[in-house]
Amino acid sequence: MIRHNLGNLRYPANPYLVLADMLLATLFAFILYALVLTFQANEKEVIIRQQQDSVEQVARQVFGPQAVRLDKSGPGRESRQVYQNLDNVSFILKRDAASEKFIFVNDTLFTARSARLTAGGREALGKMVRILDALGAGQYVKLVIEGYSVRSESSQPLQKNRDRELQTLSTERANAVLNQLVFAHNIPAERVLAAGSGWHNALPYHDALDRHNDRVNRRVQIEVRFSSRDLDRQRATLEP
């Protein structure tokens, strides 16, 4: 008499079920990874926003509340109201996703046709360094300096020569700021970049008494780029 032990028989796994299990496991891993990335991105955004708030708070303490204006219009958008009535404003703080720009206006750093920092300009840069020192962020940021000029600062009649002259002037202004930060305030040279942008990219400002907006656009922008390579060390620089 033949007996069949069906309980010991093993049937081959359904390949479609195996493939479905693999796909589900991969999908779960991908979702988990995406959640981790989203959490880290949100945490980084919160930290940078706190740093930006601290920059604004300390800047108003150092320069005075009326000397600082905040531009929160966002990348690619300009708010004209921010750039009106700038007579007593030393600089504008413009926020981007991972940086803060100090836009020095109103002859704060340079006079017309000059790339030599004024005494007030050297003082203003010293105050900006004090702001960074107060945050404890000096070793966690990169400074990107952009110098500008205006058309009326050129004596050249030909457009090509005028562009070259104004480009040179704007570059010399950016380099003057770089040298002041590096040699007078010991900012590491490898953390500072400088470039001139000529007379282009004027601010959206209008003043009937200053048709070419010379006092505003004869400016220097210093972008403070926050690094997010080490969130724990960044968090330690923030005030509780």
pTM metric for this prediction: 0.73
CA–CA distance, 149 with 212 (Å, rounded to integer): 11
Identify the pLDDT of residue 228. Answer: 54
What is the arithmetic mean of pLDDT over 23-36? 74
Identify the pLDDT of residue 240. Answer: 37
pLDDT in tens, 116-134: 999 999 999 999 998 888 7
CB-CB contact of 168 with 147 (8 Å): no
Instruction: Name the percent of the chain lying above pLDDT 70.
Output: 74
**Cα-Cα end-to-end distance for the chain:** 85
CB-CB contact of 171 with 195 (8 Å): yes
Confidence at 159, pLDDT banded by 50, 70, 90: confident
Domains and CATH numbers, the chain: 44-236 (3.30.1330.60)
pLDDT in tens, 57-112: 889 999 998 899 988 876 556 677 787 777 788 989 988 777 888 999 878 899 88
Q: Which helix (H) or strand (E) holds 195?
A: strand 192-196
Strand partners, 145: 194, 222
